[in-house]
């Protein structure tokens, strides 16, 4: 029994070492593939969108896997370009992490509460 546990642990270490050895560009490609869902796609169709939200939990979970994944994900501005207005703190985080890349926002609340956040990033190129 002990032998199987040690063997399994060694296999996990080997997988972790292999994944952590991947170049950042490969990790980013994997992240983008993982996050490519309809919920994140930009859409200008407003009919039937009531109650829909932009799915951000998978991206946020990626940043909690390990330190390297967090550094790689946070450094990739294009991963942070889709957000909604459920949580103002999250909206501000996404706006900051997306740097100068245009944002796709799905807004359903009164814009008055978001005026400060949106104003800070209003000079972005379109």
Which tokens belong to 108? Answer: 């359903």
Contacts of 54 (CB under 8 A, 6+ apart): 39, 40, 82, 83, 84, 104, 106
- Is residue 47 a part of any domain in this protein? no
Kindly tell me if the per-residue pLDDT of 125 is higher than 80.
Answer: no
CA gap 33, 41 in Å, rounded: 13
- Is residue 36 a part of any domain in this protein? yes
- Is residue 88 a part of any domain in this protein? yes
Count up the domains in the chain and report the number.
1
* Residue span of the structural domain in which 74 resides: 2-41+52-120
- Is residue 75 a part of any domain in this protein? yes
- Is residue 23 a part of any domain in this protein? yes
Model pLDDT for residues 54-93, shown as the tens digit of each residue:
888 899 999 999 999 999 999 999 999 988 888 888 888 9
Model pLDDT for residues 85-117, shown as the tens digit of each residue:
888 888 889 999 999 898 888 877 767 777 777
Is 0.85 surpassed by the pTM of this model?
no
């Amino acid at each position: 029994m002990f032998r199987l546990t040690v063997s399994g642990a060694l296999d996990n270490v080997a997988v972790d070492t292999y994944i952590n050895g991947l170049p950042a560009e490969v990790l980013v490609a994997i992240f983008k593939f993982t996050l490519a869902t309809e919920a994140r796609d930009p859409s200008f169709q407003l009919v039937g969108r009531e109650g829909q939200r932009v799915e951000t939990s998978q991206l946020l979970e990626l940043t909690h896997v390990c330190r390297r994944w967090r550094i790689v994900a946070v450094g990739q501005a294009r991963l942070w370009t889709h957000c909604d207005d459920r949580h103002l703190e999250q909206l501000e985080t996404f706006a900051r992490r997306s740097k100068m890349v245009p944002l796709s926002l799905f807004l359903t609340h009164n814009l008055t509460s978001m005026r400060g956040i949106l104003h800070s990033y209003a000079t972005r190129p379109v």
